Structure 1
Amino acid sequence: MAKTTLVRQVPPELAGRRLDQALAELFPDYSRSRLQQWIKQGRVTVDGAELRPRDKLSGGERIELQPVEENREECLAQDIPIHIVYEDAHLLVVDKPVGLVVHPAAGHHDGTLQNALLHHDANLATLPRCGIVHRLDKDTSGLMVAAKSLKAHKSLVAQLQARTVRRRYLALVQGRVTAGGTVDAPIGRHPVDRKRFAVVPKAGKEAVTHYRIAERFPHHTLLRVELETGRTHQIRVHMAHLRHPLVGDPQYGRLRLPPGASDQLIAMLRHFRRQALHAEKLSLVHPESGKTISWKSPLPVDFAALLDALRREYETQPDDDEDLDWEVVCLEE
Structure 2
Amino acid sequence: MPAAPAAAAALQRPEIRRIKLTVAPADEGERLDRYLSARGGISRGEARRALERGGVYLEGSRCKVASKAVRAGQSVEAVLEEAGRVEKAPAAPLVVLHEDEQLLAVAKPAGVASQPTLTGDVGTLPWLVGKHLGRKAAEVPTVHRLDRDTSGVVVFGKTATATRALAAAFREGTAQKEYQAVVVGRLEGSGVVEAPLGPAPGRKGSHAVVASGSPAVTRWEVLAHHGDDATLVRLLPETGRTHQLRVHLAHLGHPIVGDSRYGGPPRAGAVEAPRFLLHARALELPHPSGGTIRLEAPFPPDFAAAAGIFSLESPPAG
Normalising by the residue count of structure 2, what TM-score does the alignment of the two structures yield? 0.70
Q: 1:69 to 1:79 in 2, by over 3 A?
A: same
Task: Please say if 1:243 is aligned against 2:243.
Answer: no
Measure the CA separation in 2 of the matches of 1:275 and 1:109. 24
Task: Please say if 1:119 is aligned against 2:127.
Answer: no
Deviations 1:51-100 (CA, angstroms, capped at 9, x unpaired): xx89xxxxxxxx9x998854358999x79621011111211000111111
Measure the CA separation in 2 of the matches of 1:132 and 1:201. 30
**Equivalent of 1:167 in 177, 187, 206:** 177
Measure the CA separation in 1 of the matches of 2:198 and 2:176. 23
Q: 1:67 to 1:300 in 2, by over 3 A?
A: closer
Q: Higher RCO, 1 or 2 (CA under 8 Å, sep at least 6)?
A: 2
Partner SS state of residue 283, structure 2: strand
The answer to whether the 8 A contact 1:140-1:279 is kept is yes
Task: Please say if 1:210 is aligned against 2:219.
Answer: yes
Structure 2 gap segments, 5+ residues each? 1-27, 41-47
Task: Please say if 1:300 is aligned against 2:300.
Answer: yes
Measure the CA separation in 1 of the matches of 2:246 and 2:235. 11
Q: 1:193 to 1:125 in 2, by over 3 A?
A: closer
Task: Please say if 1:71 is aligned against 2:83.
Answer: no
Instruction: Report the AA paired with residue 295 of structure 1.
Output: L
Write out aligned runs for 1:15-164 (5 A).
21=29, 70-71=78-79, 81-106=93-118, 110-123=122-135, 127=139, 130-164=140-174
Measure the CA separation in 2 of the matches of 1:213 and 1:318. 16
Write out aligned runs for 1:293-332 (5 A).
293-311=293-311, 321=316, 323=318
Q: 1:154 to 1:177 in 2, by over 3 A?
A: same
Write out aligned runs for 1:221-300 (5 A).
221-255=231-265, 265=270, 268-269=271-272, 272-287=273-288, 289-300=289-300
Using the TM superposition, give the Cα deviation of residue 191 of structure 1 relative to its aligned residue in structure 2, in angstroms. 0.3
Partner SS state of residue 198, structure 1: strand
Using the TM superposition, give the Cα deviation of residue 275 of structure 1 relative to its aligned residue in structure 2, in angstroms. 1.0
The answer to whether the 8 A contact 1:199-1:241 is kept is yes
Relative to structure 2, which stretch is displaced further, 66-75 or 219-228? 66-75
Q: 1:172 to 1:295 in 2, by over 3 A?
A: same
Measure the CA separation in 1 of the matches of 2:317 and 2:265. 32
Count of matched residue positions in the alignment of Structure 1 and Structure 2: 263
Deviations 1:152-194 (CA, angstroms, capped at 9, x unpaired): 1111111111101011011111111122111111111110111
Using the TM superposition, give the Cα deviation of residue 195 of structure 1 relative to its aligned residue in structure 2, in angstroms. 1.9
Relative to structure 2, which stretch is displaced further, 98-107 or 273-282? 98-107
Which residue number corresponds to residue 17 of structure 2?
A: none
Measure the CA separation in 1 of the matches of 2:75 and 2:302. 43
Instruction: Report the AA paired with residue 321 of structure 1.
Output: P
Deviations 1:8-41 (CA, angstroms, capped at 9, x unpaired): xxxxxxxxxxxx94999xx9999xx98xx999xx
Q: 1:126 to 1:245 in 2, by over 3 A?
A: closer
The answer to whether the 8 A contact 1:250-1:274 is kept is no
Partner SS state of residue 251, structure 1: helix
The answer to whether the 8 A contact 1:79-1:116 is kept is no
Normalising by the residue count of structure 1, what TM-score does the alignment of the two structures yield? 0.67
Q: 1:190 to 1:299 in 2, by over 3 A?
A: same
Partner SS state of residue 294, structure 2: strand
Which residue number corresponds to residue 48 of structure 1?
A: none
Using the TM superposition, give the Cα deviation of residue 120 of structure 1 relative to its aligned residue in structure 2, in angstroms. 1.5
